[in-house]
Amino acid sequence: MMTFILFLVALAGLLIVMRREAGAMPAIGVMVAVGIVSWIFGSGWLTLVLFLGAGATAAAGLPGFRQGWLTPKIFAMFKKVAPKVSATEKVALEAGTVGWDGELFTGQPNWRSLLSNRHDGLREEEQAFVDNQCTEAISMCNAWDLAIERADLPKELWDFLKKEKFFGMIIPKEFGGLGFSAKAQTAVLQKLAANEMLMVSVGVPNSLGPGELLVKYGTDEQKNHYLPRLADGRDIPCFGLTGPRAGSDATSIPDTGIVCKGKFNGKEVVGIKLNFEKRWITLAPIATVVGLAFRMFDPDGLLGKEKDIGITCALIPRDTKGMEIGRRHCPIGQPFMNGPIKGKDVFIPLDYIIGGQDMAGEGWRMLVECLSVGRCITLPSGAAGIAAYTAGTSGGFTRVRRQFNTPVADMEGVQEPLARIAGKTYIAQSAVNHTANMIDQGEKPAVPSAILKYHLTEFQRDVLTDAMDVHGGKAVTLGPRNYLGTSFSGAAVSITVEGANIMTRSLMIFGQGAIRCHPYVLKELAAKDADDIQAFDKAFFGHAGLIFGNAARSFTQALGLGRAEVPFDSASRRYAQALSRFSAAFGLCSDAAMTTLGSELKMRELISARLGDMLSNLYLGSMVLKNWHEGQPAQGERELMEYSMTLLLNRIERALDEFLNNMPNRAVALVLRGITLPLGRRWHEPADDLTRKIARAVSTDTPIRSKLLAGVWTTEGAGGIENPLAQYNGLLKDYDRAEKLYRKVTKAYAKGELPMTALHPEDRFEAALEADVFSKEEAEFMRKYEAVVLEMLTVDDFAFDEFASNKKAVIKHNAA
């Protein structure tokens, strides 16, 4: 018995040492101390085991011993098996910064570092712009009119966008722009997202485009000429990156620029002869200036010895000879301005290169650095805005749509998707707002940008699918009254552009994060490249300590022992502790995958994707907790926070379980399961009671509904287009009174107090007035209320040949 007790003491002591990553000496101390006590109590075999363990730990763990025999052997082996990092991968890895995403790799994230920079809202001028200019712009948009009737924004809207400098949000004020923060850009795009054509048209020039590249890399001459013109809309930019053979793999650009001599403005100069074919270029049909990425070569050595200069970015005026531009693609559901650009033997001078000749060959680095920020803002902000607007309309519709004499929002089959819509909206808003705040604090979040782009656009698709289901026939019938159909169709665009989601999930999130964010991997690779054995020794054995630490933290916290200390309130503390626990499990599994698969991990995309899912949901959960911690919770927000966190933790645990089920090394997988999931899966889908509460909250006039919708278009703006969400909000404000009167008239009809032929609500209201069931005031109120309800339920119809572009091909089926 004593031997068993001493064994447990030794185990507990070692677990404590490992959890704290205290190093070899404390571990040796624990084993020697317990070994001596074991010897005193006559437990010889335990004493032997502990002394042998202490000796092995000393030999392998103390620098004075290991550096003489163990480190050289490990270093030699590491050089053989370490993955080779290509030049393009190296640029991507070095781009951006590592912040909270790096903390999640440590297994013991420092929550105070996350909470140190509060989101304090927008500047006064920024908030005024969101409230006024954005409201007016979106109120000029009807989805059917823009997508079907015009396939464009109205001229008065283009003029307004230029006048109010919507295209100059990122351009500094000294160049005539608005100089907005990342938080403000996010807020603008969430407000405009009620119409995706408008959101994309504004978002893209402020994201990946010449404006951002010029601000960061342009010459003074380029900045002084172009930035004022881009800010006020005299120039409309586009950026040509993708082509028929270069989509998500932008490094495979086949477009060439050959350094040569040619004529420019009547003089012979050294320049570049371009041949290119680009497609899927947003704003290309109307652009006046084209940013272009191409592979630059100098076969004759006119610029120096380097023949293959590399990817380069240039800025080319629309009227440049040899460039074909103006044709359009038709993006599904949302025909925003998008089209191809071609060029044959287009000659440009060297000073068209963004940043001048010194930036030749730096295009890939420029693009990666810009993408890391732009991908965090445009599409994720649009997704969050679309989700919020959809949550508002879905809640409103399901409350006023009655079947079986009850609002469909009270049916549990409808409540489930309503709660999902609300939860994913809350997560998306938290993620974009607080990541934008990080950008304003100086971060350039490369890995979070991939997380937000993938997961929030997937949320957008999920939310719209659920919304289509709860709307039924209202949403599947296109027309001016349909506020969902074109957005639902257009969701595929967000899934595909700026890095296809399949690739982002399976390659980018974990593939980049595993090296970029890991506390030691990049240091180990750098030591290998520098052939620095001392640096390698420090990094490798620090890495080993991290592995043991994460194993100990994963196991003990999974058993409910030694939960992490977190600076959160009682409502959110257990969720932060769960994220800390899964952070340790994620770090341990990441190291196990990299160790057992080595360079093969690059090709095991399903394994990488599941690890990426764990990292992503850890990040999204962190943003939800930060949002909860910093805000003033509205009534009902606690339930929404709990729903969202339960959903994310369930997703983390499911990804962990699937990773363990499919890890190729089954022995290692079995050990990992015993460490990370010793009690099995514990986080289930949100409970039904929580689902009911959230569905009720989002479909009635509640504080949490108002808070969810605070950043989207909720008013009847100056542009004159009716806002369905404003109409629903008006109906919900009167819903309690209307519901009592619905019940009153239904009860009277059931009792036979009203004519049996009074089947329409309007007929019953009139009959109720005649029978003194309703007062005149009640009848008038219900007439007006039901008229708006009927309008919200009504769908459009058209002339028989309306949709045929070739009227001659229309068959007159019933012609006499």
Within 10 angstroms of residue 346's Cβ, the number of other Cβ atoms is 21
Structure-token pair, residue 595: 């160790």
Rounded Cα distance between 806 and 816, Å, is 22
Q: What pLDDT score does 250 carry?
A: 66
Which among 139, 47, 135 has a CA at the least distance from the CA of 723? 139
pLDDT of res. 93: 65
- The pLDDT of residue 86: 66
Q: Enumerate residues 6+ apart whose C-beta is below 8 A from 532.
A: 526
User: Which DSSP category does 494 fall into?
Assistant: H
- Give the integer Cα–Cα distance in Å for 768 and 774: 5
Per-residue confidence (pLDDT) for residue 24, from 0 to 100 = 72
Q: Tell me whether strands 256-264 and 289-297 are parallel, antiparallel or unpaired.
A: parallel
pLDDT of 245 reads 79
Amino acid at 257: G
- Read off the DSSP letter of residue 633: P
Q: Which helix (H) or strand (E) holds 257?
A: strand 256-264
Half-sphere exposure of 94 (CA within 13 A, CB side): 12
Residue 415 CA to residue 425 CA, distance in Å, equals 15
- Look at the block and give the residue holding tokens 């351009």: 171
- Burial of 167 per CB tally in 10 Å (0-12, 13-18, 19+): buried
Kindly calculate the radius of gyration of the chain based on its CA atoms and give it in whole angstroms: 31
| Token duo for residue 420 | 């999902």
**What is each CA distance from 132 to 123, 127, 168, 715, 716, in whole angstroms?**
14, 9, 17, 11, 12
Three-class SS state of 775: coil
Q: Assign 144 to helix, strand or coil.
A: helix
Q: Give the whole-angstrom CA distance, residue 583 versus residue 91.
A: 27
Catalytic one of 21, 416, 443, 498: 498
Where the chain has pLDDT below 70, the residues are 1, 6, 9-10, 34, 83, 85-95, 247-251, 371-372, 717-719, 816
* 373 Cβ contact partners less than 8 Å away, ≥ 6 residues apart: 182, 212, 439, 444, 445, 449
In this prediction the pTM is 0.94
**Is 498 an annotated catalytic residue?**
yes
- Which residues are CB-neighbours of 253 under 8 A, at least 6 positions away? 241, 243, 246, 293, 294, 295, 311
Residue 536 is predicted with a pLDDT of 83
Question: What does the block give as tokens for 531?
Answer: 């052939």
Q: What is the DSSP string of 653-700?
A: HHHHHHHHHH-S-HHHHHHHHHHH-TT-----SPPHHHHHHHHHHHTS
Question: For residue 329, how many other CB atoms are within 10 A of its CB?
Answer: 17
What is the spatial distance between Cα 128 and Cα 709, in angstroms, rounded to a whole number? 17
